[in-house]
Amino acid sequence: MVLPIYVYGSEVLRKVAEDVDINENPEQLKQLIADMIETMHSADGVGLAAPQVGVSKRLLVVDGKDLSDSFPELKDFHRVMINPVVLSESEQTCEYSEGCLSVPGIYADVTRPESIKVSYINGDFEQVEEEFSGFACRMVQHEMSHLDGDLFVDRVASIRKKMISKKLNNIANGRVSARYKTKLK
């Protein structure tokens, strides 16, 4: 089922998400994962965190296949990540323009580590440790930020933040246009 995507100004996007108990209701969790993947694809996104669909849990999905023309290494890159934790990150950083389904129509350069090592539970409920670099690393870091109540616009240079503040206020006040169903709460 396609879920509405919560936009900038929604309280759930600013909360630190709670850990997922994979034993509590595994069938419900599997359904949420399936709904998030369907929602992400329906909105032409490449990543989605549970808070973006109104669920304050440490869960995210990423799928890079739509970016594989520009980033061939993403052709088979898709992950379900439950309770992800960054174990280490590189000192080297890189800057890239980011956008977000929860902040429609706004893009800005964000600096993040070039590579990270993450521990998480996958969609088969197995514990995994994995290193990410390149654009896959950026996708994972962007979605993990949502789990801590952070949005990419929080990481932009102050002058750029000032330049986009009117657009952000419009979104927060319900004046938003997107091709997908949005929600503000």
> Long-range CB contacts (< 8 A, 24+ apart) of 142-145?
142/47, 142/98, 142/100, 142/110, 142/112, 143/47, 143/48, 143/49, 143/60, 143/61, 143/62, 143/81, 144/49, 144/60, 144/81, 144/84, 144/86, 144/118
Query: With contact defined as beta carbons under 8 Å apart, do 160 and 68 qualify?
Result: no
The active-site residue out of 27, 95, 131, 143 is 143
The gap between the terminal CA atoms of the chain, to the nearest Å, is 20
Catalytic annotation present for 38: no
The catalytic site residues sit at: 143
